[in-house]
A and B are shown apart, each in its own frame.
Chain A
């Protein structure tokens, strides 16, 4: 990462050492907003064509999944859904930068990242549909439950990365958070712990401009959120979060950097939440439609498509095949969500402790009796 630039060559040792932790002046970018190549030379190797094609597939599937999930809220199948529309490049690049054994720590918004990790969409949405708090097996998928209390999961990522490192494994952890979450104490504690213990963690801040209704200017007075690494002595990078090529290049490099034992990094992805905070939010109360329009013009999916077509890596036929694949995945998701999954009421008592306390045994017996009486009545 940027950290590797050894500025001590041009300055006396120990002079302003913080400088080597300062983020670069500009965000990494490969594609301009229309999807053409930018003039400037990017700082990292461009991902291979194969990976970009894979990224595109994940983005098409991810966007369709997101749209389907939003639709399911309207049908009352989901209590609520925080959309990822516009942030697919961030989430998918993050998921793709990991190896299967690495840990991912998503927030409530990072459903598309979970889908890109290969988790069944029905399981991902199970939390929001009210079945159980975490619908998938976090141990099997090396993906922690989607975290709602802001920034708290960043410490878990730090602990697990350190723990795995202690065991001599080259496992890393990737932790997501939003711009709002960077104000929480746990964000700062996590950066500090990770730095002190040299834990292999990539902190990905998806700066989508708002924490519910509060704009970034009310959240932080720092020049960028990437600057938040400086005080902790960790490297940082800024990236155009709507540029899929740049996102993948930076996340791949970040993963490589922390895996190599250099300690954590923080990556700030500049992006935008196209939809409201959740389906239950009214974004017109706090932002202009012109702003949204402007960001729609930087749509990550359209940019990647234009780039891939220009390079002959995508054509009408392969695009149509992909659309069809996404449609059938959406249909499958709809069907999966329309099945009423029966929750076992006794699960209420099963997972409080490894072994039930006498009190819980009593309460379970009470619930069983109540259920029995209920079914007798019906």
Chain B
């Protein structure tokens, strides 16, 4: 088995999709000769021609609006936003048109565009090069939102996203681009299925994208303290796999959601609410969230404080009232 990086797995997914379907086109800023700033589109122009992978003018709204028109002409655009924090000029096109066109036209038109966005932090990026924007997209009906956490999934999920008849916001964790694994790449499950990354009995950690590895590390550390934690990797935030998450929480009775994004009104809040609504009688403790602070994405030197750490997850594990009577933290004092 070859050892490859996540960026290479994504590149292979694009290659295979371009080869499999001549309607697939890749475009964006610097995706041609340069191969993208993270090299995800490396060599695609050389190998498929600049009809299939091409540079556009530097205009995010333009890229998405243009992609909408190309999708109306039957193409399957896979576009790259250079960084999460630079996708905002395109927000109007994404929210007003990409997400709504099927609905507005009662299904007469659809725009199955894949919008690839390098996302989240942990790379010490300068200002406006890191953001956790999944909440904005997940809150928009009509968009699917996907975030791989493994090299293997990066391939599988991107292929599934390109094959999907709906628009997909495909979030690529920047800090995992150059993580490596020995894997065989293959087309696999459709979007919307979570994966149990580690089986456990005592509590469920729910995570996606870059936080999955934090969850797994936390689970290893907790094991040393005698807690057997299950780790669920959502893979797809929308559609959300209630089944897998709820089955796990019903089994363990405790749940912690981990996300890098600011916590307030975020994806983690949604998950906590869903778990609480569906598994209340199985819960032995409140559902907890471990998230970034409610601050604009911090400067590189302080990033470490913002990102959920293993320690912070373990603190939350401690707060899960392993012994109800011993923990008074949830008591409301008059």
Contact = CB atoms under 8 A, between A and B. Distances in A.
A5 to B, nearest CB: 27
B103 A161 contact: no
Nearest to A354: B165
Contacts of A156: 65, 68-69, 72, 97
Given A155-B62, A189-B65, A354 B72 contact: no
Given A149-B92, A193-B57, A196-B57, A359 B240 contact: yes
Contacts of A193: 56-57, 59, 62, 65-66
A139 B108 contact: yes
Interface residues of B, number: 46
A358 interface: yes
A351 B107 contact: yes
Contact of B75 (A144, A163, A185, A352): A163
Interface in A317-372: 347, 350-355, 357-359
Among B66, B96, B240: residue with most chain A CB under 10 A: B66
B111 to A, nearest CB: 9
Interface in B107-166: 107-110, 141-142, 144, 164-166
A158 B104 contact: no
A124 B65 CA distance: 24
A186 B65 contact: yes
B89 to A, nearest CB: 7
A26 B317 CA distance: 75
Interface residues of A, number: 44
B67 interface: yes
B66 A155 contact: yes
Interface stretch (A40-48, A56-64, A129-137, A296-304): A129-137
Contact of A149 (B57, B71, B75, B96): B96
A313 B161 CA distance: 59
Interface string A145-164: 10001001011111111111
B66 A158 contact: yes
B242 A354 contact: no
A144 B72 CA distance: 10
A352 B141 contact: yes
A103 B51 CA distance: 22
Contacts of B141: 352
Interface string B19-55: 0000000000000000000000000000000010000
A329 to B, nearest CB: 25
B69 A158 contact: yes
A350 B107 CA distance: 8
A142 to B, nearest CB: 10
B239 interface: yes
B269 interface: no
A140 interface: yes
A133 to B, nearest CB: 4
A219 to B, nearest CB: 19
Contacts of A357: 192, 238-240
B323 interface: no
A83 B103 CA distance: 26
A218 interface: no
Interface string B214-229: 0000000000000000
A139 B105 CA distance: 9
Contacts of B67: 159
A155 B65 contact: yes
Contact of A155 (B69, B75, B144, B240): B69
Interface string A185-196: 110011011001
Contacts of B239: 353, 357-359
B109 to A, nearest CB: 6
B80 to A, nearest CB: 16
A145 B69 contact: no
Q: Which 9 A-B pairs have the closest CB atoms?
A: A159-B69, A155-B65, A163-B73, A189-B62, A354-B165, A357-B239, A160-B69, A133-B104, A159-B66
10 contacts: A133-B100, A139-B105, A144-B72, A155-B64, A159-B69, A159-B72, A160-B73, A164-B73, A166-B73, A193-B62
Interface of A: 103, 132-134, 137-140, 144-145, 149, 152, 154-164, 166-167, 173, 185-186, 189-190, 192-193, 196-197, 347, 350-355, 357-359
Given A144-B72, A156-B72, A163-B72, 11 more contacts: A134-B108, A152-B92, A160-B69, A162-B66, A185-B59, A192-B59, A351-B102, A351-B106, A353-B142, A353-B239, A359-B240
